[in-house]
Chains A and B, each alone.
Chain A
Amino acid sequence: MYGNDFPADDTSSGLLGEVEAAETALREAAERGRHGAAGADPAAYFAEVIAADQKVEPRDWMPEAYRATLIRQIAQHAHSEIIGMQPEGNWITRAPSLKRKAILLAKVQDEAGHGLYLYAAAETLGVSRDELVDLLLAGRQKYSSIFNYPTLSWADMGTIGWLVDGAAIVNQVPLCRCSYGPYARAMIRICKEESFHQRQGYELLHTLAHGTPAQREMAQDSVNRWWYPSLAMFGPPDTDSTHSAQSMAWKIKRFSNDELRQRFVDMCVGQAEVLGLTLPDPALCWNDERGGYDFTQPDYAELMRVIKGAGPCNRQRMEHRRRAHREGAWVRAAAAAYAAKQASKKEQASKKEKVA
């Protein structure tokens, strides 16, 4: 009843095609089966699996640093989904039509679902969801810095779908080919839903951009505020990125931050034209030689400040999450106590049965 009635467009079909190709590759790799077995030298076997583009599975031996990198990355991704519910959750009760309310509610619900898949994928690496949530609440694990920006107007629901989900997809599509099987499989499912989210955001923004002057202004203001933070979602420039080289060798990561950022800009320029909105970068210009757009880099000093906690909403987002966790403690305790009572009743009943 909600959200399925948009006309089809092809804004993200290229990326969706890549997701499908990754899914096919995953299936084919599984059918080929892996050569040999771990044997006496698990490290050599791990290297062979990576080299052959096969998937590493939970019970396989893996270098501790590989495991730690994946836990950090998957947890950060899961936390981002959960914290990322807040900026959009901010507008559910004020959505301007019942159809939009239903779509937004469904979208935020999807994000909670993504968070849960990802925590489950992280758990295959030997860490529990509770531990990861504690690390988030203690401020010892991060989430995407984009969610530390406020949603100041309804148009932000469109821009988050178009630019923020768009940037997330560009980042995540290559992860569908990540060397760690459970993460790759989770990403395939997530990317398909994210692609739908992006389309709905684009459609929302298109409606505003072609609406009343006030709606159009709201849409342009929103794009002005979100453009550079979206570019910053790809992380620091390659020259400053600390985790990249090893992650690329392990085939966790497959393209550099700057490559993905360029791909995103190239994708957005044409879409902005169709929307009739202006990307707030006077330097934006096609470079024939490079075959891509030249553009102004985001302010990486700002990105670092936001990552370190000084963004507009860091404190608010964390306090909101901590409060929900704190206020829910008595409910979780009650559920555990009830389950224990039920289990002990069941046990007593089965003892009686045995005696009888």
Chain B
Amino acid sequence: MTAHVEQTGPEPVPTAPGTTSAVPGMTPAAPKPVTKRFEFVLGLADDALVAAQRLAEWCTRGPEMEEDIALANIALDQLGAARLLLTYAGELEGAGRDEDALAYRRDDREFRNCLLVELPNGDFAVTMAKLFFLAAYQVPLYTALAGCGDERLAAIGAKARKESAYHLEHASLWVRRLGDGTDESHRRMQAAVDEVWPYLHELLTPDPAAPVDPATLRADFDSVVSRVLSEATLTVPETSWTPAGGRNGLHTEHLSYLLAELQVLHRAHPGASW
């Protein structure tokens, strides 16, 4: 195996479709032959996939029937983006892995999603806080991707940014309703913002070599977040704790449970088609 260089097209396929990325004969510590772009796309794909899985957990449990529909709809959007991104990541990797091989046959240490999306749903306020911050990040991210030089990413960005704009609108409305609703909802919404806030740091960690450097999204992100929190009568938490590691495969304890559920049936029937 040679070292892989940055590239946009698929490489020759070195292994049969459906095989995992484990390379016989290499020491476990050796880095896998992956490109920078593959890692970047995989990170975005995993954000969307894990967010979709968490949102889908709400199905039949929403606080009102309309919200069951809305959350399922947002989960479907995230899942749709995840599928496009995973497929592209598989092509960039060039190891013959399709969307299902990447979603179902990687362990938590191989996932590249940010920690925010894997946090448990909590109550409705925690879910809305997570969705609000995720959408406030995904809107400028997908918008920037839509204008980037990689045609595939540009097309995915152009499609996904419209969906994310709706997610942001929906979650912002709930953050305002809950923040400026009753005493109980205000208390719960503030607690949710406090709980989730430290995980935002990871989203915007600079990565100048990436197709879109997350640091460049900060101005848009901050402006939306501060406006909505202020309208919602919520205060910005002060904390110096900045948990991170998701982009390097170091996750919270929650992710492997989420993956256990997501992958259980697929892994119970190796080689089966569905």
- Residues of A bordering B, CB below 8 Å: 1-2, 82, 85-86, 89, 92-102, 105-106, 108-109, 112-113, 115-116, 154, 207-208, 211-212, 214-215, 320, 323-324, 327-335, 337-338, 341
A85 touches B60 (CB 8 A): yes
B188 at the interface (CB under 8 A from A): yes
Q: Which residues of B contact A (CB under 8 A)?
A: 49, 52-53, 56-57, 59-69, 72-73, 75-76, 79-80, 82-84, 86, 99-100, 103-104, 123-124, 176-178, 180-182, 184-185, 188, 261-262, 264-266, 269, 271-274
Residue of B with least CB distance to A336: B181
- Contact indicator A324/B61 (Cβ below 8 Å): yes
Nearest B residue (CB) for A212: B272
- Contacting B65 at CB < 8 Å: which of A99, A116, A215? A116
Assembly CA distance A105 to B269 (angstroms): 22
Chain B residues with CB under 8 Å of A320's CB are 60-61
- B257 CB to closest chain A CB (Å) equals 11
B98 CB to closest chain A CB (Å) equals 10
A331-B185, A334-B182 known; A98 vs B103 contact (CB < 8 Å) = yes
A328 with B124: CB separation less than 8 A: yes
Question: Which A residues are in CB contact (< 8 Å) with B103?
Answer: 98
Please, how many angstroms separate the alpha-carbon atoms of A184 and B182 in the complex? Answer: 41
Whether B80 lies near A105 (C-beta < 8 A) is: no
What residues on A are CB-neighbors of B266 within 8 Å?
Answer: 96-97
Q: Mind listing 13 A-B residue pairs with CB under 8 Å?
A: A85-B68, A96-B272, A98-B83, A99-B83, A99-B274, A105-B56, A109-B59, A115-B65, A323-B61, A324-B60, A331-B185, A334-B181, A338-B178
Cα–Cα, bound, A115→B104 (Å): 33
Q: When A116-B65, A334-B181, A337-B181 are in contact, do A96 and B274 touch as well, CB less than 8 Å?
A: yes
Residues of B within 8 A of A154 (CB): 265
Interfacial chain A residues near B272, Cβ < 8 Å: 96, 211-212, 214-215
Q: Which residues of A contact B69 (CB under 8 A)?
A: 109, 112-113, 116
Does A109 lie within 8 Å of B83, measured CB to CB? no
> Bound state CA distance, A96 and B272, in angstroms?
10
A328 touches B64 (CB 8 A): yes
Are A105 and B265 neighbours in the complex by a CB distance under 8 Å? Answer: no
Closest B residue to A95 using CB positions: B265
Contact (Cβ within 8 A) A92 B56: yes
Contact of A102 among B63, B79, B104 (CB under 8 A): B79
Contacts of B62 in A (CB 8 A): 324, 328
Return the contact of B184 from the options A106, A215, A324, A330 (Cβ within 8 A).
Answer: A330
Closest A residue, CB atoms, query B184? A330
Q: Beyond A112-B65, A330-B185, A338-B177, is A86–B273 a contact (Cβ under 8 Å)?
A: no
Q: Is the CB of B79 within 8 A of A96?
A: no
Contact residues in B for A214 (Cβ distance below 8 Å)? 269, 272
Give, as a whole number of angstroms, the nearest-CB distance from B120 to chain A: 13
Q: A98-B83, A116-B66, A154-B265 are in contact. List 15 more A-B contacts (CB 8 A).
A: A85-B68, A93-B57, A93-B261, A96-B272, A97-B104, A98-B100, A98-B103, A320-B60, A324-B60, A324-B63, A330-B185, A334-B177, A337-B182, A338-B178, A341-B180
By a CB distance below 8 angstroms, the chain A residues around B269 are 96, 212, 214-215
Per the bound structure, the CA–CA distance linking A113 and B231 in Å amounts to 31
List the B side residues contacting A115 at CB < 8 Å.
65
Give the Cβ gap from B15 to chain A, nearest Cβ, in Å: 20
Q: Are A94 and B265 in contact (CB under 8 A)?
A: yes
Q: How far is the CA of A100 from the CA of B100 in the complex (A)?
A: 11
**Most B CB atoms within 10 A — which of A1, A208, A327, A330?**
A330
Most buried by B among A98, A112, A116, A330: A98
Contact A331 B178 (CB under 8 A): yes
B59 near A334 with CB under 8 A, answer no
The complex places the Cα of A308 from the Cα of B69 at a distance, in Å, of 30
A219: shortest Cβ distance to chain B, in Å? 12
Given A207-B273, A330-B185, also A92-B59 (CB < 8 A):
yes
With A and B bound together, what is the CA distance between A237 and B184 in angstroms?
52
Closest to B272 in A: A212
In the complex where A89-B60, A334-B178 touch, is A207 in contact with B274 (Cβ < 8 A)? yes
A85 / chain B contacts, CB cutoff of 8 Å: 59-60, 68
A98 touches B68 (CB 8 A): no
Nearest residue in A to B271 (C-beta to C-beta)?
A212
* Closest beta carbon of chain B to A331's beta carbon, Å: 4
> Could you tell me the distance in whole angstroms from the C-beta of A318 to the nearest C-beta in chain B?
13
Closest-by-CB residue of A relative to B232 is: A338
Asked if residues B79 and A334 are in contact (CB atoms below 8 Å), the reply is no
Q: CA separation between A214 and B68, bound complex, in Å?
A: 34
Q: Which residue of B lies closest to A331 (CB)?
A: B63
**In the complex, which residues of chain A have a beta carbon less than 8 angstroms from the beta carbon of B100?**
97-98
- Chain B residues in 8 Å Cβ range of A102: 76, 79-80, 83
In the assembled complex, the CB of B256 is this many whole angstroms from the nearest CB of chain A, namely 14
